[in-house]
Amino acid sequence: MELKPIAIVNGRLIEADGTTRPGGVLVRDRSIAAIGEIEAAGVETIDARGALLAPGIVDLGTFAIDLPAFTAGGITRAALMPDQSPPLDDAALVQRAAAAGKPDVWIHPIAAATRALTGEELAEIGLMKAAGACAVATGRGWIADSGVMLRLLGYAASLDMPVIVHAEDGWLATGAVATSGETATRLGLPSAPAMAEAMAIARDLMLAEETGARIHFHQVTTARGFDLIRAARQRGVRVTCGITPAHLLLSDTAIGQFRTFARLSPSLREERDRLAAIEAVRDGTVDILCSAHDPQGPEAKRLPFVDAEPGMAGAETLLTLSLTLVRDEVIGLPRLFELLSANPARLLGLPGGQLETGAEADLILIDPDAPWRIDADRMAAKAGNTPFDGLPVQGKVLMTIKGGRPLR
């Protein structure tokens, strides 16, 4: 049944040069029918009241289905990592995960690369693709066996599925909870050198080049890692990479006095790597900004630093923290929404991510200047484990619209 048209009026549209102009969107049957000056007579309307109108965020690589957090953060599609309980290594599990968010936020499952994510035996990737998996991933871990990784990339290439990789040499990183350097030494924490990331990237790039596979590094956080990706692209390797705002805004000093909310995976890096990550966003090396949303309750975080689980609740702060890059003139608004929406949708072959006629009407209304304070105790997420607790920020999602229908 065709839905009644809806007009979103009195908004601001982002121009290619980063400026904005007044305008709106007409939605018919869940798709964008027109953009610009909208004639709203006789049509149900949503008054944007001067808010910025942008495509909904496509979050690549969340670790939990957390619909309230997604809606609060402007996420209309979330690609779910296979690290679930049980892992997404079976077609039936993929089908069940895909149905979990509809009709609100759509969940797009990512298939486990190996059975039970042990890194040993390839899972039935073809069957999971037929069941709705949009990509295949190694999950939170690294596949140590290069032969298994070669077979994975070759099989994924034959299916034209992107392979999403956690880039960290497991032999070096086993037992580590921080990056080697002054902070880890001062606090007496078990640590791994930052080069563990580059070593994993170097191997997997060579295997991807051999097989012609599409490889995406979920999070790249070091200068050496970015250099390897730049060089591989010049050779024609089909490689992309992402990063979270946390690794752009925080260095390893944020651990402070054993702040477990700042225990992340990969670990926070030294300042020189953080600055290199910002440059990688500026020069286009980074393709995607993601939340790596991983809500962990107090039973997992309020422990000694070594025993605490890594991860942060990042879905509802993804946009506001990413807007820092615009205010600091690292990138403009058009580039920001390429990183948050268009690029992840394109990589995964999903609809949405664009504000153009004929596209899915997955939209967000934003006040980019609205001041607020991140409060871990008041977050919509299942848990408020954020290293940004108490931080004053600017930029807030006012409304998330899925298929032309407001979610809040």
Instruction: Please give the Cα distance from 301 to 295 (Å, whole number).
Output: 10
* Residue range 28-41: mean pLDDT, rounded: 88
Task: Give me the residues paired with residue 11 across strands.
Answer: 23
Evaluate if residue 38 carries a pLDDT over 70. Answer: yes
Q: Find the CATH number of the domain harbouring 110.
A: 3.20.20.140
Note whether residue 29 is domain-resident: no
User: pLDDT digit string (tens) for 211-230?
Assistant: 999 999 999 999 999 999 99
Q: Would you state the torsion angle of the CA atoms of residues 196, 198, 201, 205, taken in this order, to the nearest 10 degrees?
A: -140
Q: What is the pLDDT of residue 408?
A: 64
Instruction: Please give the Cα distance from 358 to 242 (Å, whole number).
Output: 28
The H helix count followed by the E strand count for the chain is: 14, 18
Note whether residue 387 is domain-resident: yes
Note whether residue 406 is domain-resident: no
Domain span at 162: 57-353+368-392
Q: What is the pLDDT of residue 185?
A: 96
User: pLDDT digit string (tens) for 137-159?
Assistant: 999 999 999 999 999 999 999 99
Burial of 307 (0-12, 13-18, 19+ CB in 10 A): exposed
Evaluate if residue 2 carries a pLDDT over 80. Answer: no
Residue in this structure with the two tokens 């920020």, named with its chain if needed: 393
Buried b (16+ CB within 10 A) or exposed e, 191-216: bbbbebbbbbbbbbbebbbebebbbb
Note whether residue 99 is domain-resident: yes
* Residue range 121-126: mean pLDDT, rounded: 97
Note whether residue 66 is domain-resident: yes
* Residue range 270-296: mean pLDDT, rounded: 97
Q: How confident is the model at residue 133 (pLDDT cuts 50, 70, 90)?
A: very high
* Residue range 359-366: mean pLDDT, rounded: 95
Tokens found for residue 324: 């820092």
Phi/psi of residue 8, each to 5°? -100, 115
Note whether 106 and 77 are within 8 A (CB).
yes
Evaluate if residue 61 carries a pLDDT over 90. Answer: yes
Note whether residue 252 is domain-resident: yes
Evaluate if residue 40 carries a pLDDT over 80. Answer: no
Rounded to the nearest integer, the mean pLDDT of the chain is: 95
Note whether 357 and 282 are within 8 A (CB).
no
Note whether 240 and 280 are within 8 A (CB).
no
Note whether residue 7 is domain-resident: no
Q: How confident is the model at residue 86 (pLDDT cuts 50, 70, 90)?
A: very high
Evaluate if residue 1 carries a pLDDT over 80. Answer: no
Q: Structural domain tally of the chain?
A: 1
* Residue range 373-384: mean pLDDT, rounded: 94
Q: What is the pLDDT of residue 19?
A: 86
Q: How confident is the model at residue 15 (pLDDT cuts 50, 70, 90)?
A: confident
Q: What is the pLDDT of residue 274?
A: 98
- Continuous segment of H or E residues that includes residue 13: strand 6-14
Note whether 37 and 371 are within 8 A (CB).
no
Q: Where are the beta strands (DSSP E) in 139-276?
A: 163-165, 178-179, 191-192, 215-217, 239-243
* Residue range 360-385: mean pLDDT, rounded: 94
Q: What is the pLDDT of residue 326?
A: 97
User: pLDDT digit string (tens) for 225-255?
Assistant: 999 999 999 999 999 999 999 999 999 999 9
Q: What's the DSSP call for residue 115?
A: G
Note whether residue 363 is domain-resident: no
Note whether 164 and 136 are within 8 A (CB).
yes
Q: Amino acid letter at 303?
A: L
Evaluate if residue 67 carries a pLDDT over 90. Answer: yes
Evaluate if residue 278 carries a pLDDT over 80. Answer: yes
User: pLDDT digit string (tens) for 190-206?
Assistant: 999 999 999 999 999 99
